[in-house]
Amino acid sequence: MLRGLYAAGAGMIAQQRRQEMLSNNIANANTPGYKADQASLRAFPNQLIQAMGTGQSRVTGSYRVGELTTGVYMQEKIPNFRQGDIQETYNTTDIAILQGVMPQNEAGQSAVLVYNIENNEGELRFTRNGNFTIDGNGFLTTSQGNYILDTDGNRIDVGNENFQVRANGEIIDGNEQFIAQLNVSMVQDPTQLVKEGSGLLRYDGENEVVSAINNPNVTFQLQQGFLERSNVDAAQTMTEMMSALRSFEANQRVLQAYDRSMERAVNDVGRIG
């Protein structure tokens, strides 16, 4: 009886966490460069049930009844790094990454391209959000004030909005003088990128993150005046939210049925005895 309560409760918790993840996807449907999370649901290890003291087995003195499933849980959230739609904004500080041919890792996952960012603590972070701006000192930053880095790991001083970004990432001023080379890094295993909020990604992998600039294995181009939109499919996400809600309600009804059965066992059966 209690095992059934645990299994139903585990199902409710898993669907609640899935619903929270889907709600966050919907909330970021208009966030530039946002990558939708996908849930990975797994079942707990099954237990082998045996009837003890039946004498059916000469070795253990028990009889094998079968396996018992103990519930489900949400193992992890995996971002989907599929390329989002490109939208023209006409803003010179908006820069979109348009990926071409990308190498794949042993698991068959394509590498992903990201901008290099210096966060408020001076640590290296990455992002796909090309909605940049210029701070009071003329440096190119994210909308949250994090600095964009060049291929040498330095902040990029563009001075003002009178600059151009070529398809290969070279930044030139109004007089066509070279300013800096905007760095674009390639992450071989995108599952090692962890979301930290505000569009920033932290890399927890062991392999080195290499630059995609002048990399013969990578084809891409940067488009100034464009933004990569979120890759959230709003219609599909709403359908998945309804499915998660129905699953939650089904587990809730099972839990209530077990609760009523236990109530009768305690009150009615005990009174008859």
pLDDT tens per residue across span 131-189: 999 999 999 999 899 999 999 999 999 989 999 999 999 999 988 899 999 999 999 88
Structure-block tokens of residue 107: 């698991």
C-alpha 43/C-alpha 41 separation (Å) is: 7
pLDDT of residue 241: 94
Most confident of 5-14, 97-106, 223-232, 244-253: 223-232
pLDDT of the residue at 71: 74
Cβ neighbours for 141, distance < 8 A, ≥ 6 positions apart: 132, 133, 134, 135, 147, 148
Over residues 30-41, the pLDDT tens digits come to 999 999 999 887
**What's the whole-model pTM score?**
0.80
Q: Which amino acid is at 249?
A: E
* Cα dihedral 213/105/224/135 (nearest 10): -80
- Backbone phi, psi, residue 6, to 5°: -65, -45
> How far is 201 from 1, CA to CA, in rounded Å?
44
Rg of the chain (C-alpha set) = 27
Chain CA centroid to CA 99, Å: 19
Return the H-helix or E-strand segment holding 81. Answer: none
pLDDT level of residue 48 (50, 70, 90 thresholds): low
Residue 232 corresponds to which tokens in the numbers above? 């959230």
C-alpha distance from residue 163 to each of 29, 90, 92, 142 (Å): 30, 13, 7, 17
Beta bridge partners of 140: 134
Q: Tell me the C-alpha distance between 74 and 28, whole Å.
A: 21
Over residues 70-76, mean pLDDT: 77
Please tell me the distance from the alpha carbon of residue 108 to that of residue 189, in angstroms, as a whole number.
10
Q: To the nearest whole percent, how much of the chain has pLDDT over 70? A: 87
